[in-house]
């Protein structure tokens, strides 16, 4: 008797006896083996795409182009970069077509999102992930681009980059961390600067707090919490088994943060993790008066029961100075030191 016939017989017996059939838990397939983009070099062409919201003025395009040129690159605009459909940077078909075309174009070495916003979820099922696996390239952005980063990693195995978007402020800190991973093929230790006191007696900005100490290794998954939680239950949600989850958020009430973390817990993602890095939760404040939990309480409630290393305050998120995080790359968290060590070069 085959396995399927045995299970059918068990179900029929249980139904006949007035009992519920034993529940079976589906196991999601593992992500494909990782593929790495070629490292970017001066003179390479970077294509600008608008997979999320539209850019409504001309000046941001000029500033983004000049910034990439200052980094040593040629810049190409995807065909629908300046399109607009409602608040989005073109129709779903146009935005997906631009991404597919830029991955297919051998003259393009890397692809960068112009900005975030919203709308990336709408095109996930229109992308050619087999093409991305055949022709891996640098792809980077953050915020709503979280959808694309995790979908590319989950469906194609492509290591992509939670990194500045083209219209970001390309300050010295962000440039140095981006260049180390993407251009120099280094495997850096990501650790907040220490001792930056300014006019204060002690350091106030970019402090690290350890929720639970220890070290752990695993592939990096995550990004913006609201966007990541919206992928739960889809084929584009990351494989969290043994993973290190990194999270950031902006402009969300604390009760919404709590609800998003509840989604990750209920879908089984949190219980599978090997470690957690909490980035910046910028302007995330109480939205329901004194009844609200604090962020401290919410993070303790959801992460301490996991019994894995967790630290908070990493320079990831909607902030001026930010790390570049390779999604899908192997890393080691040291929650006592508040650091994340990338374990191998992620650009070849």
Residue 248 known to be catalytic: yes
Find, among 209, 298, 318, the residue nearest to 253 by Cα. 298
Buried b (16+ CB within 10 A) or exposed e, 243-261: bbbbbbbbebebebbbebb
d(CA 229, CA 224): 9
Q: Which of 31, 50, 80, 143 is catalytic?
A: 143
User: From the candidates 50, 160, 248, 252, which is the catalytic residue?
Assistant: 248
Buried b (16+ CB within 10 A) or exposed e, 299-335: beebbeebebbbbbbbbbbbbebbbbbbbbbbbbbbb
The widest CA-to-CA distance across the chain, in whole angstroms, is 77
Would residue 318 show up in a list of annotated catalytic residues for this protein?
yes
* Tokens, residue 103: 């991955």
Token pair in block for residue 152 = 């590319």
CA distances from 227 to 28, 95, 117, 245 (A): 20, 18, 10, 14
> Residues 80, 162, 177, 318: which is the catalytic one?
318
258 assigned to active site: no
Q: From residue 77, how far is each of 26, 39, 74, 102 by CA, in Å?
A: 43, 20, 10, 10
Catalytic residue numbers, as ranges: 143, 248, 318
């Amino acid at each position: 008797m085959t396995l399927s016939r045995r299970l059918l017989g068990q179900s029929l017996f249980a139904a006949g006896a007035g009992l519920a059939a034993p529940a079976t838990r589906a196991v999601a397939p593992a992500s494909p083996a990782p593929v790495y983009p070629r490292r970017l070099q001066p003179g390479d062409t970077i294509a600008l795409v608008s997979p999320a919201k539209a850019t409504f003025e001309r000046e941001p395009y000029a500033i983004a182009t000049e910034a990439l040129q200052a980094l040593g690159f040629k810049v190409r605009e995807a065909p629908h970069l300046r399109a607009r459909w409602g608040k989005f940077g073109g129709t779903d078909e146009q935005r997906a077509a631009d991404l597919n075309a830029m991955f297919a174009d051998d003259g393009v070495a890397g692809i960068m999102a112009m900005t975030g916003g919203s709308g990336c979820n709408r095109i996930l099922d229109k992308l050619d992930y087999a093409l991305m696996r055949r022709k891996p390239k640098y792809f980077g952005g953050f915020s709503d681009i979280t959808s694309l980063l995790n979908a590319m990693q989950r469906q194609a195995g492509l290591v992509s980059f939670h990194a500045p978007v083209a219209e970001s402020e390309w300050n010295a800190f962000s440039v140095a961390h981006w260049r180390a991973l993407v251009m120099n093929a280094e495997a850096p230790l990501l650790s907040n600067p220490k001792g930056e006191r300014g006019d204060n007696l002690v350091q106030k900005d970019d402090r690290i707090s350890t929720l639970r100490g220890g070290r752990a290794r695993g592939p990096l998954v995550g990004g913006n919490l609201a966007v990541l939680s919206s992928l739960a239950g889809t084929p584009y949600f990351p494989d969290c088994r043994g993973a290190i989850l990194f999270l950031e958020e902006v402009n969300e009430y604390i009760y919404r943060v709590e609800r998003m973390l509840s989604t990750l817990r209920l879908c089984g993602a949190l219980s599978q993790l090997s470690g957690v890095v909490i980035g910046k939760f910028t302007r995330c404040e109480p939205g329901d008066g004194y009844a609200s939990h604090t962020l401290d309480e919410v993070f303790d409630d959801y992460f301490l029961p996991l019994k894995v290393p967790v630290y908070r305050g990493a320079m990831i998120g909607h902030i001026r100075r930010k790390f570049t995080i390779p999604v899908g790359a192997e890393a080691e968290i040291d929650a006592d030191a508040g650091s994340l060590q990338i374990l191998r070069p992620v650009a070849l």
